[in-house]
Amino acid sequence: MSADTNLDIAALDKAHALHPWTHFESFVRDGPLVIERGSGCSLWDSDGREYLDAVGGLWCTNIGLGRREMAETIAAQAEKLAFSNTFVDMTNGPSALLSAKLAELAPGDLNHVHLTTGGSTAVDSAYRMVAYYQRCSGRPDKTHVIARDSSYHGSSFATISIGKRSGDKMPEFEYLSEGIHHVSAPDCYRAIGERSEAEFCDDLVVEFEAKINEIGPDKVGGFFAEPIQASGGVVVPPKGYLKRMAEVCQKHDILFIADEVVTGFGRLGHWFASWDEFGVQPDIICCAKGLSSGYQPIGAMIFSDRIWDAMQGDRWYASGFTYAGHPVACAAALKNIEIIEREGLLAHATKVGQYFEDRLGQLENLPMVGDVRGRKLMLCVENVADKATKALLPDDLDVGKRIADAAEARGLMVRPMGHLNVMSPPLVITQSQVDFVAETLEL
Ligand code: PLP
């Protein structure tokens, strides 16, 4: 029973709600966990039990939950102007101010912002921008795009088709495939084999160029990459990989689209990881999640002067969403950015993130942990049957889920993904909370 309403929320939910990514049998058997309240890194369920949320909501509660300042900002903006559309030639203060702020924070000449409702709509917009930009630049055939295995770029029809993670595609449904291609994931744990990191990197770049040549360089318009693949298993690329992939893109007039929906806004201690962590200047950055720390649904596609200049002229950009530039969501994002700046949360994420890496890295001493990988506040533990051969545990053991359930019973939330456990806590996590995460997983 919910303390708030005296209604049986779990029963109502079970009877009526279809959740994203639901496994029917287990949902019908177990029902949902009802979360009632959040503060900082903690969540409380409807029975009053507290959990340390090392998942950070879903890679997103960067400044932590329960901030009165955020609630007051949202309430004040909702009272002043809850909505005004931004189609064609109308705007509102928060929308314009947020666009300007994102242009200031983004690297290089990424000075233009198309606001969206979340990550999928940001990546979806970038997908359309590829063909639009290329056509405006006199290259109308460059409509094909390349992404990587193990990528996740969202759940709209186009973005789920661009991504390629096992299990994301329902066999009952036919996804977009025309003009969408994939190359290998830069997976230094599972795919590297006997090669050195440098050799592995060389091979990935050669494969990319070969794929471009196979499709035809005059047909490939865009390359989508998460700087660190998130839902694909926190895949950190080999050294120099992203830079070299970006150089190949430049050589062939292919737009490099950095999907920073997870890696942006402090998760790796920077506003954006592509430039600050990997030294790559993308043509487009897609962001969401930490942009508002989950206080409001919002995303953005940030793009370069070069793209903006090519678009100019007697033509329409016919794409966008009712809630693009939503004043309340934009006000929340602006306040969220202000808090990150004022409290020095990028520096804190760098420091505590290093501690998180070091502390969780010690789990590799456990017999079942094959790999602990990631950077700063974006980590993953890979559980294996045999550390030497990297052999997987049987699927029906559902090891990630069993570890997550055992952790939950001890007051810790970690995300199960097959044989992995993934973590992306709020940036405000403390060293002692990191110790609690590590100690709980060691049990
Ligand atoms: N891109 C990446 C890298 C993501 O991880 C996600 C969501 O997890 C998305 C895009 C889609 O974002 P949203 O769920 O806000 O549409």
Q: What is the ipTM of this complex?
A: 0.99
Confidence of residue 88 (pLDDT cuts 50, 70, 90): confident
Number of H helices, E strands in the chain: 15, 15
Confidence of residue 281 (pLDDT cuts 50, 70, 90): very high
Read off the pLDDT of each residue in 377-390 and give the average, rounded to a whole number. Answer: 97
Residue 82 near residue 262, CB atoms below 8 Å: no
- Measured in Å, residue 290 CA sits from the centre of ligand 1 at 11
Is any atom of ligand 1 closer than 6 Å to the C-beta of 123?
Answer: yes
CA angle 194, 235, 440 (to 5 degrees): 105
- Measured in Å, residue 20 CA sits from the centre of ligand 1 at 12
- Measured in Å, residue 149 CA sits from the centre of ligand 1 at 16
User: What pLDDT, on a 0 to 100 scale, did the predictor assign at position 252?
Assistant: 98
pLDDT, tens digit, 9 for 90 and up, residues 298-314 = 999 999 999 999 999 99
Is any atom of ligand 1 closer than 6 Å to the C-beta of 118?
Answer: yes
Q: Which helix H or strand E contains 248, and what residues bound it?
A: helix 241-251
User: What pLDDT, on a 0 to 100 scale, did the predictor assign at position 167?
Assistant: 86
- Measured in Å, residue 233 CA sits from the centre of ligand 1 at 14
- Measured in Å, residue 259 CA sits from the centre of ligand 1 at 9
- Measured in Å, residue 230 CA sits from the centre of ligand 1 at 9
pLDDT beyond 60 at 110: yes
Q: Which fold has domain 33-63+345-442?
A: Aspartate Aminotransferase, domain 1 (3.90.1150)
pLDDT, tens digit, 9 for 90 and up, residues 12-62 = 999 999 999 998 898 989 899 999 999 999 999 999 999 999 999 999 999
Is any atom of ligand 1 closer than 6 Å to the C-beta of 134?
Answer: no
Domain boundaries, the chain: 33-63+345-442, 71-342
Mean pLDDT rounded to a whole number for the chain: 96
Tell me the residue type at 46. S
User: What pLDDT, on a 0 to 100 scale, did the predictor assign at position 4?
Assistant: 53
Question: Whole-angstrom Cα distance, residue 238 to residue 219?
Answer: 28
DSSP 3-state assignment of 206? helix
Backbone angles phi, psi at 299, to 5 degrees: -145, 175
Q: What is the pTM of this model?
A: 0.97
User: What pLDDT, on a 0 to 100 scale, did the predictor assign at position 443?
Assistant: 83
Atom of ligand 1 nearest to the CA of 297: 15
Question: Whole-angstrom Cα distance, residue 67 to residue 323?
Answer: 24
Is any atom of ligand 1 closer than 6 Å to the C-beta of 150?
Answer: no
Residue 267 near residue 59, CB atoms below 8 Å: yes
pLDDT beyond 80 at 425: yes
DSSP 3-state assignment of 219? coil
Question: Whole-angstrom Cα distance, residue 314 to residue 290?
Answer: 36
Question: Whole-angstrom Cα distance, residue 130 to residue 257?
Answer: 9
Q: Which helix H or strand E contains 77, and what residues bound it?
A: helix 68-80
Of residues 279, 238, 287, the one with CA closest to residue 262: 287
Protein residue closest via CA to atom 12 of ligand 1: 119
User: What pLDDT, on a 0 to 100 scale, did the predictor assign at position 6?
Assistant: 66
Is any atom of ligand 1 closer than 6 Å to the C-beta of 56?
Answer: no
Of residues 69, 356, 86, the one with CA closest to residue 234: 356
Q: Is 70 exposed, middle or buried (0-12, 13-18, 19+ CB in 10 A)?
A: buried
Q: Which helix H or strand E contains 74, and what residues bound it?
A: helix 68-80
User: What pLDDT, on a 0 to 100 scale, did the predictor assign at position 5?
Assistant: 58
Is any atom of ligand 1 closer than 6 Å to the C-beta of 259?
Answer: yes
Residue whose entry in the numeric block shows the structure tokens 């592509």: 274
Read off the pLDDT of each residue in 168-188 and give the average, rounded to a whole number. Answer: 94
Of residues 203, 208, 209, 206, the one with CA closest to residue 191: 203
pLDDT beyond 90 at 166: no
Residue 425 near residue 433, CB atoms below 8 Å: yes
CA quadruple 343, 349, 350, 356: dihedral, nearest 10: 150
Question: What distance lies between CA 370 and its chain's CA centroid?
Answer: 24
Q: Is 82 exposed, middle or buried (0-12, 13-18, 19+ CB in 10 A)?
A: exposed
pLDDT, tens digit, 9 for 90 and up, residues 203-222 = 999 999 999 999 999 999 99
Q: CB-based contacts of 352: which residues, under 8 Å, 6+ apart?
A: 377, 427, 429, 430, 431, 434
- Measured in Å, residue 155 CA sits from the centre of ligand 1 at 7
Is any atom of ligand 1 closer than 6 Å to the C-beta of 152?
Answer: yes
Atom of ligand 1 nearest to the CA of 229: 3
- CATH label, 71-342, candidates 3.10.180.10, 3.40.50.2000, 3.40.50.300, 3.40.640.10: 3.40.640.10
Question: Whole-angstrom Cα distance, residue 194 to residue 197?
Answer: 9
Atom of ligand 1 nearest to the CA of 263: 3
DSSP 3-state assignment of 123? helix
Continuous H helices in 254-376: 273-276, 305-311, 327-342, 345-361
pLDDT beyond 60 at 3: no
pLDDT beyond 80 at 82: yes
Distances (CA, A) of 391 to 11, 194, 201, 367, 420: 40, 16, 24, 13, 13
Question: Whole-angstrom Cα distance, residue 368 to residue 359?
Answer: 17
Residue whose entry in the numeric block shows the structure tokens 């079970």: 14
DSSP structure class, residue 364:
G
- Measured in Å, residue 419 CA sits from the centre of ligand 1 at 21
Q: Give the residue, out of 262, 287, 291, 295, with the most ligand 1 atoms within 8 A of its beta carbon, to mutate for a pocket test.
A: 262
Q: Give the residue, out of 231, 261, 267, 415, with the most ligand 1 atoms within 8 A of its beta carbon, to mutate for a pocket test.
A: 261
Atom of ligand 1 nearest to the CA of 260: 3
Atom of ligand 1 nearest to the CA of 58: 8
Protein residue closest via CA to atom 6 of ligand 1: 154
